[in-house]
Amino acid sequence: MPKRVLQGKVVSDKTDKTVVVLIERKVAHPVYGKIIRRSKKYHAHDEGNVIREGDTVRIEECAPISKLKTWKVLEKVGG
C-alpha cells in the first residue's frame, strides 16, 4: 500500500527535529452542500532542522518515530 503524501504550511518549528504542519482540505457539507474548510495538524520529523515556520512542505507517512510523530518531511515546496 502506498504511503500518503500531504502538502501544508508549517505553523511551528520550536521543538528539536520536529515541525507542526497544518493541512487544510475543502469538503462539501453533508446536508447543505456548502464547501467548508477542515484542518488538521500533523507533527513531522525534520532531521536537519532546516524547515522554518511559514514554509510550505510535503510530508510523507512513515513508521512511528515518537508518540505524536508518524510523518517525515519530504521536501520544501515554497517559503
Whether 72 and 44 have beta carbons less than 8 Å apart is answered as yes
Q: What is the pLDDT of residues 19-52, one digit of tens each?
A: 999 999 999 999 999 999 999 999 999 999 999 9
User: Over 90: is that where the pLDDT of 75 sits?
Assistant: yes
Instruction: Report, as an integer, the average pLDDT of 47-71.
Output: 96
All domains in the chain, ordered by first residue: 5-78 (2.40.50.140)
DSSP helix/strand/coil, 75 = strand
DSSP helix/strand/coil, 9 = strand
| Dist. CA 71–CA 79, nearest whole Å | 20
Q: What angle do CA 37, 63, 61 make, to 5 degrees?
A: 30
